[in-house]
């Protein structure tokens, strides 16, 4: 059905966006600071316009988005963003604009990226703020949208084609232990060397590349059961520095901590998959000036590693 745009109030887009995000009339009304009957009446009009329920009662007696509504989420956000750009008088300038970016990343990525990035922001762009959430909380594009993320930095397994993706860098795994660890005194690291010593697993190996390290070990019939599992890499390295534990960590992390903690690390003599790290974002943000600036800033900081 062809719709006469002259008959549609542009404010309906804002209300539609809130309904699609909140999935509830009351919550959308609260978000928009409108009365519930007003939002309810507009939802009725939107249903007539789209010839679709948009919100329907699911099996769990909670409102869910129809297929049509799900297909509208990105286009609606994109149109609103473009309209804001048209009517927004103030252009983004990193020196003056006050803005908060929300990023998802693992502690591994945080250790590599955040320090230099925050130093740059605090020194040169004090009005730019960051909100960091755990990488493992985000697994799908829908979760990415629901958390209102600007960027996710990491390695998603089978990422949605809806993401815009850019490869930041490639790391690789190394084996790390105390500098005086008896198993690390020889020039080459072998399975026979490691089998007699306790193994400490860090979270990075559980959340990225689908256990790539351990799958590679199995090919060589070396299945080492970790004695300890720790979700904090600095803490894991502190333990390694005073024990005969060894661990497997990304090389960039190993190089950052080796001298500080009196640790040593060695490359594997068997084939271990590399660890590519990507930056993911929504298509609607692709041409956004502030978003482009942030992505460029992260890329420049990564190049200095």
Q: At 62, which CATH number?
A: 1.10.10.10
- What token pair was written down for 281? 């974002």
- What token pair was written down for 171? 């790391």
Does residue 185 share a domain with residue 158? no
Does residue 138 share a domain with residue 77? no
Does residue 232 share a domain with residue 106? no
**Nearest 10 degrees: Cα torsion 138, 143, 148, 154:** 30
Note the pLDDT of residue 104.
Answer: 92
Percent of the chain topping pLDDT 70: 87
| CA–CA separation, 46 and 8 (whole Å) | 10
Note the pLDDT of residue 218.
Answer: 58
Residue 228 bridge partners (DSSP) = 200
Does residue 12 share a domain with residue 103? no
Alpha-carbon separation of residue 83 from 93, 97, 134, 235 (angstroms)? 19, 19, 32, 48
Overall average pLDDT of the 107-117 stretch: 88
Note the pLDDT of residue 60.
Answer: 65
| CA–CA separation, 168 and 153 (whole Å) | 9
Does residue 62 share a domain with residue 124? no
Does residue 158 share a domain with residue 17? no
Note the pLDDT of residue 221.
Answer: 47
Element (H, E) at 166: strand 164-171
Q: How does residue 290 score in pLDDT terms, banded at 50, 70 and 90?
A: very high
Sign of CA dihedral 146, 149, 231, 221: positive
- What token pair was written down for 178? 């105390």
Note the pLDDT of residue 115.
Answer: 86
- Of 98, 230, 74, nearest to 160 by C-alpha is 74
User: What CATH number is given to the structural domain containing 181?
Assistant: 3.40.190.10
- What token pair was written down for 165? 């993706």
Buried b (16+ CB within 10 A) or exposed e, 196-206: ebebbbbbbbe
| CA–CA separation, 257 and 123 (whole Å) | 25
Q: How does residue 137 score in pLDDT terms, banded at 50, 70 and 90?
A: low
Overall average pLDDT of the 37-42 stretch: 91
| CA–CA separation, 55 and 295 (whole Å) | 35
Does residue 202 share a domain with residue 145? no
Cβ(271)–Cβ(66) below 8 Å = no
- What token pair was written down for 17? 């966006």
Helix spans in the chain (H): 11-22, 25-32, 36-50, 67-87, 107-124, 141-146, 191-194, 204-207, 212-219, 233-240, 251-261, 289-303
Q: How many domains does the chain have?
A: 3
Q: Which range of residues forms the domain containing residue 296? A: 99-164+277-303
Better pLDDT: 170 or 207: 170
Among 79-93, 129-143, 164-178, 275-289, the minimum mean pLDDT is found in 79-93
Q: 3-class DSSP state for residue 232?
A: coil
Does residue 239 share a domain with residue 215? yes
Q: Largest Cα–Cα distance of the chain, in whole Å?
A: 79
Cβ(266)–Cβ(249) below 8 Å = no
- What token pair was written down for 118? 């925050």
Overall average pLDDT of the 75-88 stretch: 81
Q: Is residue 93 part of a domain?
A: no
Any idea what the Cα angle at residue 276 is, between residues 274 and 277, rounded to 5°? Answer: 150
Note the pLDDT of residue 172.
Answer: 87
Does residue 145 share a domain with residue 70? no
Does residue 81 share a domain with residue 37? yes
In angstroms, how far is the first alpha carbon of the chain from the final one?
55
Does residue 67 share a domain with residue 42? yes
Note the pLDDT of residue 90.
Answer: 67
Does residue 29 share a domain with residue 80? yes
Note the pLDDT of residue 208.
Answer: 45
State pLDDT tens for residues 180-222.
Answer: 999 888 877 777 778 788 988 886 644 444 445 565 555 544 5
């Amino acid at each position: 059905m062809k719709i006469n745009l002259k008959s549609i109030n542009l404010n309906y887009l804002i209300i539609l966006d809130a309904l699609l995000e909140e999935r509830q009339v009351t919550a959308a009304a609260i978000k928009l600071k409108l009365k519930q009957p007003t939002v309810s009446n507009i939802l009725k009009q939107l249903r007539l316009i789209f010839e679709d329920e948009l919100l329907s009662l699911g099996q769990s007696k909670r409102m869910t988005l129809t297929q049509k509504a799900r297909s509208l989420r990105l286009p609606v956000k994109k149109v609103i963003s473009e309209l804001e750009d048209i009517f927004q008088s103030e252009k983004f300038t990193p020196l003056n604009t006050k803005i908060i970016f929300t990023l998802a990343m693992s502690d591994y990525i945080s250790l590599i990226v955040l320090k230099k990035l925050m130093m740059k922001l605090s020194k040169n762009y004090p009005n730019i703020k960051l909100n960091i959430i755990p990488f493992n909380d985000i697994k799908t594009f829908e979760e990415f949208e629901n958390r209102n993320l600007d960027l996710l930095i990491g390695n998603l397994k089978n990422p949605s084609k809806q993401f815009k993706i850019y490869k930041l860098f490639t790391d690789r795994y190394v084996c790390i232990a105390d500098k005086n660890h008896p198993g690390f005194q020889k020039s080459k690291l072998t399975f026979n060397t490691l089998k007699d010593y306790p193994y400490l697993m860090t979270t990075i190996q559980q959340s990225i590349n689908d256990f790539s390290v351990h799958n590679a070990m199995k090919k060589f019939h070396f299945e080492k059961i970790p004695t300890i599992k720790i979700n904090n890499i600095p803490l894991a390295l502190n333990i390694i520095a005073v024990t005969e534990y060894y661990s497997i960590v990304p090389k960039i992390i190993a190089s950052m901590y080796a001298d500080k903690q009196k640790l040593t690390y060695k490359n594997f003599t068997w084939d271990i998959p590399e660890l590519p790290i990507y930056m993911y974002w929504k298509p609607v943000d692709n041409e956004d000036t502030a978003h482009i600036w942030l992505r460029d800033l992260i890329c420049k900081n990564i190049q200095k590693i």
